[in-house]
Structure 1
């Protein structure tokens, strides 16, 4: 099997040789053999692992890509696949949330109607219920409130926050845009536009941008699956080698 230097692996991806060594140290690629002089010796197996890792980074982010590769190199394929499956589930959930927000935008009402909609007879959620609905913490909802994004009413008897239908819509939109990389001040401006008549234009553009990001992530997942499948299929002496293979 041909041998490669750290710089050979690094050059393909525009990395430094030190970055490749760091990836090895962190378990993202298999451990290298050493020469008598202590120099690392890489092989096409390492090159395939690095391609898989870099593709996973584009699809799932650096942290999850690292976890997938380290689980593989521990020999736990099922755990690695579980992380990948959760990534696909999150992508689907993001698509569903995006569609839900688009439908909400199609039926936006003027600010006066939204205020009127905050009547006690409407279905409401406590901060805990809304947090569970969005899979965030109550502290996150309070941070959104501090940023001017959410403006829940207060129960006159208890003083606790209560969230009416428009608040839930605003929270869902905020959750989506946060996942899209938007900062809180920008989200606050978008939500304020939604609260006023004719304010859907900016959020429609933001959702179009997020749709493109979701599509790009889906394509990146396909690329990562191909790279990872290649690594596992064509390099039996790689991460899933057993004693019977030796």
Structure 2
């Protein structure tokens, strides 16, 4: 089996040799053998492990990729597959979320020119009630208000926030877009356009970008699976 230097592994991915040593230290690639003088000696198995780790990191994130490589280091293949399955399950949920947002956008488009009749509206939600509905904390809703995503009225007598029908709609959309990885300032701009212009063009663009990101993540998962399979072959 051909011996490789840290620089050989680093060069393939545009990394520093220190980064390769850090990955070894963190258990993301197997420990290297040492020469009598203390120099690291890597093999094709280490190169395959690094390819697998980096591909996993692109698909699932650094933390999950590290978790997978640790499980591989312990020869716990069932745990590896369970971690991978969770990632695919999350992707499927995100696709379902995207479909739900699209359905909401269709409704918003149909109702865009309709002025809400506040006298016929249902009773407003309190911050606690809306937080329970979305399964977030009240602090999260207050952060969204500070970011300009939500603009609830205040009860004149108590000063409490009142989330009416359109506020609940905005909160639900914000929650879904956050699941898509969008920053607060982006979501605030989208919802501001909906509130002021009655249009959903910005939201439609955001959803298309979200769809593209989900496709990229799915393709990255396929690439990671190929590299992981190759590493398992070399590792045996």
CA deviations over 1:105-144 (Å, ceiling 9, x no partner): 1111247634639823589981442342xxx443222211
Distance 1:30 1:90, change over 3 A: same
1:152, 1:164 within 8 Å by CA — same for their partners in 2? yes
Distance 1:113 1:86, change over 3 A: farther
| Helix, strand or coil at the partner of 2:202 | helix
In 1: Cα distance, 2:7 partner to 2:182 partner: 37
Q: CA RMSD in A?
A: 2.7
CA deviations over 1:188-240 (Å, ceiling 9, x no partner): 1201222345411111111111111110000000111111112113321xxxx
Give 1:77 deviation, angstroms: 2.6
Aligned to 1:20: 20
Contiguous gaps of at least 5 residues in structure 2: none
Aligned to 2:129: 126
Aligned to 1:139: 139
Distance 1:71 1:32, change over 3 A: same
Is 1:2 aligned with 2:5? no
Contiguous gaps of at least 5 residues in structure 1: 237-246
Aligned to 1:199: 199
CA deviations over 1:18-42 (Å, ceiling 9, x no partner): 1000000000001111111111110
| Correspondences of 1:68-217 after superposition (within 5 Å) | 68-108=68-108, 109-110=111-112, 113-114=115-116, 116=118, 119-120=121-122, 126-132=129-135, 136-152=136-152, 163=163, 165-217=165-217
Give 1:8 deviation, angstroms: 0.5
In 1: Cα distance, 2:77 partner to 2:84 partner: 11
Aligned to 2:47: 47
Q: Which stretch has the larger CA shift, 86-95 or 103-112?
A: 103-112
1:114, 1:195 within 8 Å by CA — same for their partners in 2? no
Aligned to 2:57: 57
Distance 1:115 1:66, change over 3 A: farther
Q: Which stretch has the larger CA shift, 34-43 or 195-204?
A: 195-204
In 2: Cα distance, 1:106 partner to 1:98 partner: 12
